[in-house]
Amino acid sequence: MASRSTASGARSQQNFMSHRGYLYFKIALGLCLLAVIAYFASDPTPVANGGTVVGYTLGTISLLIIIWLSFLGVRKRLMTGGQWSLRGWTSAHVYLGLSLIILATLHTGFQFGWNIHTLAYVLMMLVILSGAWGLYAYLSLPIKMAQNRDSMTEQEMLVELDALDKNLRKAALPLRKEWVDIVEMTIRNSKIGGSILSRFRRDPASCGTARGLVAFKAIQTSLSDKDVDLVADVVAILERKKAILYRIRSHIRYRALLEVWLSIHIPVTFALILALVAHVFSVFYYW
């Protein structure tokens, strides 16, 4: 399977999700089914919890899976191939990670509280959910990004923006002071990037270009013949700049959507591992 997918290359629709004929999906599904059967077939005393035979077993399996999953960060920095390709690892990472939703939840026996044990569970769910978001982003956003970029590179977008600014300044040279002020305002206030929240807005109301455009369109309604063409030039450039800004901001937004989950996934994983150490230590310390 692995050789076929590499041989057929781009023609194959296989990605890490369908690696080796969904092998890891089947393994994860099998694990979950076994866990559910064990959970409901057992008769725990006095009630299902992490300290029964099934509870300890599910906890041990979940812990081993979490430790293995966390080594993806190490594994992806090593160049190897073949049977244990990175794609295979990623495939297993995704499916085994998702299986923890079932395994670890059954391990809790649905007992939750304000304690280290539930903290570990909540951290684990945060890691899984952020990872699930990352999975969705990886599978769905690159196509949208490509459509948005329309073959432009990030550098080209910046150059275009720069060129438009230069043109804008040039076109504004014959304009009177208060209009020049508006042009300067559009250049000054058309920020891209910025804080994490502003990266999710592709059409912010505070954008100087949009505001300048509105202002100039208002000015256009009462112009002397001498200024008509001058202002029309400026408006045309602002329109183009507005379009490229929308594209750039969309790109930034997609990148944020694609990358922000990792800023939860990785740091919370570290906290999770320490919480699991505390969880296991405390359980056996106060046995």
Partner 1 sequence: MLFSVTQLRLRPGGRKSSRILLEAANSAIFGRSPECDVELADLTIGLQHLKIFYRDDGNLFVELLDGRSVSLNGRLIKDARAPLQTGDVLGFNDWTITVADDPDAAQCVLQVEQAEQAKDPSILTERQAAFNTSKALPSSRIMAWGGAIAVAIFCLFIPWYVAAYDADSVLGMSVENADTIWSSGDLSHMHANLENDCGSCHEEGFQSVRDETCASCHFDLKNHASDADMAQSQPNLSGWDAQLQNISDAVGRPAGRCADCHSEHNPRHLVVLQDGSICSDCHIDLTARLPETDLLNVSDFALDHPQFRPTLMQVSGDNGPATIRVSLDDNPQENSGLKYPHKLHIDGPAVLKQVADLGDDYGWGDELVCADCHTPDAANVLFEPVSMTENCAMCHDLTFEIEDDGYRRTLRHGEPEEVIASMQDFYLAKALANVRDAASLNTDRRRPGRAAMNRAINQREMAFRTAGLRTADKVAAIFSEGGACYDCHVITPPDGDDPLAYQVEPVMVTDRFLPKGQFDHASHEVGNLDCVSCHRADISNEASDVLLPTIESCQTCHGGQHSEDLLPSTCNTCHDYHDGPHGTLMNAADNIVRRDILLFEN
Are 265 and 131 in contact by the 8 Å Cβ rule? The answer is: yes
Q: Does 119 bind partner 1 (CB under 8 A)?
A: yes
Q: Give whichever of 43 and 225 is closer to partner 1, judged by the CB atom.
A: 43
Binding mask 184-223 for partner 1 (x = CB under 8 A): x-------xxxxx--x------------------------
Q: Measuring CA to CA, how many Å separate 92 from each of 96, 205, 239, 280?
A: 6, 44, 48, 25
Q: Does 145 bind partner 1 (CB under 8 A)?
A: no
Q: Tokens 């990352």 sit at which residue?
A: 134
Q: Quick one: which of 248, 147, 242 has its CA closest to 199?
A: 248
Subset of residues 94 to 113 that bind partner 1, contact rule: CB under 8 A? 111, 113
**Given 3-state DSSP classes, what are the helix, strand and coil percentages for the chain, each rounded to the nearest 5?**
80, 0, 20
Interface stretch with partner 1, choices 60-68, 81-89, 136-144, 276-284 (CB under 8 A): 276-284
What residues from 35 to 94 belong to the interface with partner 1 (CB under 8 A)?
43, 45-47, 49-51, 53
Residues that contact partner 1, how many (by CB under 8 A): 61
Between residues 239 and 259, which has the closer beta carbon with respect to partner 1? Answer: 259
Residue with tokens 């057992």: 42
Q: What are 260's two structure tokens?
A: 């922000």
Nearest residue (CB) to partner 1, 56 versus 84: 56
- Is position 277 an interface residue for partner 1 (rule: CB under 8 A)? yes
Classify burial at 100, counting beta carbons within 10 Å of its beta carbon; exposed 0-12, middle 13-18, buried 19 or more: buried
Burial class, 13, CB count within 10 angstroms (exposed 0-12 / middle 13-18 / buried 19+): exposed
Give the range of 58-66, 74-82, 205-213, 248-256 binding partner 1 by CB under 8 A: 248-256
Instruction: Give the Cα separation of 6 and 273 in Å (integer).
Output: 35
Which residues form the interface with partner 1 (CB under 8 A)? 43, 45-47, 49-51, 53, 111, 113-117, 119, 154, 158, 169-170, 172-174, 176-177, 180, 183-184, 192-196, 199, 248, 251-252, 255-256, 258-260, 262-263, 266-271, 273-275, 277-278, 281-287
